[in-house]
Structure 1
Amino acid sequence: MKLSTRDITYCSIMAALTLISGFLTIPLGPIPLTIQTLVVLLTGLLLSKRNALISQGIHLLLALLIGGFQALLSPSFGFIFGFAAGAYVIAFIIERYGFTIKLTTLAVFIGSVVIYSIGLPYMTVILNSYLGGNFSIVQILQMGLIVFIPGDIVKAILAVVIGLRLRGKVARSQS
């Protein structure tokens, strides 16, 4: 797997944007509201599946380096694993089926589901097993999903609009 200078640059930019956007938070319980998801969705829309995975893998490693081992024990860390998978799935769908408005919207929706399908179980394990909580599935969904749906819809719409505008420029320059 050989990466061009351009690939390395795009991967680095998206990893850095994902990391930086995670520091801009609004606390809403165990999972803060950030614009990270928007950046992750854009990563999947703008980069190849390989580069999307590399970018979010770099972000995961940076989060571990900054937060240390204890970062793994944060209820929200599972979403970082979900970011890598979600960005990859979005890019896979776009590469495989094309970049139309419908497919882009579907890819963003599926990518978001992937992020939550990894993040929520991880959050449940950390809250209930490691931190000794006794949260029901309904409580987990209220804390880790339902409260974020309106913001996620806005971020998904923004990702589709921005992605459609930028995809041609970025895609032409990718190897």
Structure 2
Amino acid sequence: MKIRRIVLLAMFTALMAVMSLIQIPVYPIVFTLQTFMVILIALIFKPLDTFLIVFTYLVIGLIGIPVFSSGGGFQAFVSPTGGFLIGLLVSSLLISIFKSKTKVMLYDLIVIIIFGFVVLYMIGLPVLMMTIGMKFTDALIAFIPYYLWDFLKIIVAYAVYRALPEDLLKKIETSN
């Protein structure tokens, strides 16, 4: 692995941490820019690099460095946000695998909504419901503000991705 690639992956791992620490505190899960960054990473990078960035971020948090909105350590994975943390890894990988190669907007937005929203909530909500004793219908209703926030992050992440110069994306792609 080239040093340039290692630095690039480390930089985006650090950006993941920073974006998760930008928070609007609400119960039961704070609003962060973590999902925004995950979507952007998945759009910019190849699947392996996307996996390495998000996995490294999760491992850094798992060992106790407070990079998650809830801090760090194993307890973050068994807290109400634990399922969402695991969901970030799955969602980012699936977005990176299934995104269009030529920035087809409608296709990409459908991929992001399915994998960055539906799959993320399918993994995150059951853990949240188990940890705080919430019923499924109550969780669906309680999360309406989060859905709106996540759709906004999807739109902004895709707009940022579309605005990135093609030559920059090519440099990132060829950093292997």
The TM-score bracket by the shorter chain reads 0.7 to 0.9
Residue 69 (str. 1) matches residue 112 (str. 2): no
**Superposed displacement of residue 98, structure 1:** 4.2
Q: Which residue of 1 aligns with 2:90?
A: 85
Alignment of 1:1-175 (within 5 A): 3-65=1-63, 66=65, 67-94=72-99, 98-112=102-116, 113-128=118-133, 135-143=134-142, 145-166=143-164, 168-173=166-171, 174-175=173-174
4+ residue runs over 3 A deviation: none
Higher helix share: 1
* Structure 1 unmatched runs, 5+: 129-134
Q: Which range moved further: 52-61 or 3-12?
A: 3-12
Identity of aligned residues (%): 26
User: What residue identity is the alignment partner of 1:38?
Assistant: F
Q: Over aligned residue pairs, what C-alpha RMSD do you find?
A: 1.8
1:57 Cα deviation from its structure 2 partner: 0.2
Q: TM-score when scaled to structure 2?
A: 0.85
What are the Cα deviations for residues 118-142 of structure 1, in whole angstroms up to 9, with x where unaligned?
A: 11112122223xxxxxx21112223
Q: How many residues align?
A: 165
Moved more, 66-75 or 155-164: 66-75
Tell me the amino acid that sits aligned with residue 41 of structure 2: T
Counterparts of 2:165 and 2:95 in 1: how far apart (Å)? 13
TM-score of the superposed pair, with normalisation by structure 1: 0.85
2:77–2:85 CA contact under 8 A, matched in 1: no
